[in-house]
Structures are given as C-alpha cells and as structure tokens.
Structure 1
Amino acid sequence: MGSIADNMGVVTRRIQKATMAANRPADSVRLLAVSKRKPPEDLRVAAAAGQIAFGENYLQEALEKMAALADLPTLEWHFIGPIQSNKTRDIAAHFDWVHSVDRLKVARRLSDQRPADLAPLNICLQVNVDNEDTKSGASLADIPALAAEVLTLPHLRLRGLMAIPDPDQPEADLRQSFRALADALAQLRQAHPEAQGLDTLSMGMSGDLETAIAEGATLVRVGTALFGAREA
C-alpha cells in the first residue's frame, strides 16, 4: 500500500470519478478520514495533504489525539461510534459532528451538555437500514418521529442520516439500502421545510463508496483505503 498522501490522492480521484459518473457537482461529496486505531502522526500526515475531517469511534482515544494535534485548530472532529450515555458530556464538548445518534435520550443529553460558547453540534441520525440484529441505529420507521424531536433541541443542528449497510449483501441489495436512506432524507426535507441544513447522507466506505455516491452520498467514511488495515 502507498503512503497516506498517495492513498489520499487515489481515494480523492475515486470520489471525483464517481461524482462525475453520477452527474453531480464536483464538490458535492466530502471525505471523512476514519482514523480510529491510528496514531496522531498518521492524522498529521493526512492533514498536511489537505484532509480536514477525521472520524473517531472511541472517545478516550479521540481526546488524546485532539490534545496531540491541538496545534492544528482547523481540524474537524466527527464522532462515529456507538454512544454510551456516560460519554455524552465529553462528546458534546469536543466534537463538531456526531453521526451515531439513534435515540432521543442521547440527543437530549448532547444538546443539554453542549457548551454555550460553541456552535450547535451537527448531528446525523444513525439508521439500521437493513434491520441487522448486531448493528446500532434506529429503524427507518422510527426516523420521522426521532427527527422531529431532535429538530426541537436548541443546541443541536440536524444535518441528515448515517447508515452502515451490510457489506456482504449483493450489489443490487446494497444499492437499495443506500437508496432507502436517500429516500428517507428526502422525506425529512419535505416534512420539515423550515429545517436549515438537512443536507447530509453519511454513507459509503472504502469498498463501496462508488455505489454510495451513485445513490446520493454527500459524505463517505474511508479508513482502510487511506491508512491501511487497522490493528485489532
């Protein structure tokens, strides 16, 4: 595998090619570098190559990286892992985005605990789009009611939806999973025309980003293709 900088170039070209193939604007898909289990030095290399947004799954690991990279204040931190209620205060205080909100209790805690001097916390609702027993996320059926409640919380900004479809399903089924998430976001926009910023579909990873972009992804979460395989 190439260097991190080289890998970023490869992934960026994949995104650009897929975006063009879908007849979408060139800047309509963002890259989120999934950096869990990778040292701060790797993130620093990626940042030097132009990467801004980094996704972390584990709170303590992320906080240590934030401290190590405090001299890079323009980095954007996204929490993408399961959320335990006892971790919401630190998540609310230190992250710019949270992709993995799947219940109202957590959303309320994040809003209540967001420091007053910070901008509202950008939120994606995690959808268990294939109804897998082992996956976190709200069901598609529960999303309208959950979104309506989250939109009332003063220190959150609902940006869209996130999903991790079953990567082992046939291509046609994977495409349908992505399409279902895109349809759910379109329905939210229609139901809440007053909502500002319902613009994010966080879907697609190293192996399926092209399919996700074809179905409307605006943010792809890529780890392995950038940083190589992760340690267990």
Structure 2
Amino acid sequence: MFDLQGKRVVITGAAGGLGRAFAHGFSDAGASVLAADLDLAGAKETMTNRPGGAIALDVRDMESCTRCIAAAIDTLGGVDVLVNNAAIYAGLTRAPFDEITSDMWDQVQAVNVKGTWQMCKAATPALRAAGGGAIIQIGSATVSSGSPNWMHYVASKGAIHAMTRVMARELGADAIRVNTLAPGVTMTEASLDHFDNARSYGAANAALRRNADPQDIIGAGLFLASAAAAFVTGQTLTVDGGKVFS
C-alpha cells in the first residue's frame, strides 16, 4: 500500500535537507519527482540519476509557482502529490516576540505561509485534472510545544496547520486529501547549523530520547501520499519521537 509507482510528485525546498530526503524516499518508492527550489543547482543534484527533473522555484512569486506546476505537467505528465516543504528555517534569527522586527516577520510569512498557499493554488487544477491526489504540508511540532523566541516561525507553521483544515474541507469533493506532517527537530544541515548541540537539543524531552534523522520522517510522508491514507484528510501527523502528544 506504500507503493507510489507511477505517482507524479512535486516537492518544494528539495535542494537539501528534509526536501532532498523526501525526493529520494518518494523516488525509491516508485514515484517520479520534480524537485523545486530557489537553489536550482541543489535541486538538480537531488535528482541525479533519478526519474523526474528539477526546476528553480521562488514560492513568494505566484508566476514562479505556476511555472513549476506547468513544468511538472510537461516533465511528469501531471501532478498526483504536492509536498509543500519550502520554508525559511536555516539562519532564522531567534528573538523574544516583542523584539522581532516587522521585516523579520514579513520575510518568514512570505515564504512559509504565502508561499505554501500559492503552491496549493497553482497545483489544485492539476490535481483535479488527475482525478484527485494529495497535498502534504510540512508543519512543525513547535506549533504544539510553543517554542520560545521563535514566534515568527511557529506562527507561520501554525497557519499552515490551519490552512490544511480549510483546504481539506474545500477539496474533499475533488478527492484531494490535504494533511500536515509535523516533524520535531530533525538533523538536517539547517538544524545542525541552527542549534548548539543539535543532536541533544530537547532530546531528553522526547519519549524516544533522541531527535530525528531525515530518514525517520520519510515514512510518514510516504504514508500520507499513498493508498494507505486514502481516508485520511485534514489531519496533523506529528513525528517528533514523542515530545508532544497532540
């Protein structure tokens, strides 16, 4: 039931980190993948010797989102799954909420919230044309835990969780399922750069006593994209080793 043979998948933010892990995991499960990222060279590297392609994408620009989906139709023949992974995370300045500047706030929301919404808008006609499919939003377990000094990021991910529920209601009649996958701290390059002692950061609060590696997250994404989740929509699947129970 986790076989994605023949599925056509668009993954944003796929030049590295969790996006690259998703691209490889979906490809290994039989899907054809279009890796999309502002870093085109990184997206191309992700897809080396794998079926599909790569495209430059700026999710802040609606025309860029539309071109991405058009490229997926040309390259893959259509779209069955959209994974909205692109987000500002690496290098994000942490600060108390009353010290976050308007520019910091707007930068995060433009990518994490508006960019996700625009990709959903761009992809929905193609998903409808395919007779249905799946949108997987990459949220964050921080929405449940309320990570301090990070309100701009946590708020952006909370918006994605809320958007998922609205779109699940609006797109259900089109057989398009919309779910949020909410990872905890995951040992990508971004996390290793972002946190001091990243591997131990918060791990003591997890039931499994460790933080995730990207491979720990892939299975949940494959599930949400597959026939195994055919009756699952509007849900948040938290994959954080048991730090929060939601």
TM-score by length of 2: 0.38
TM-score by length of 1: 0.40
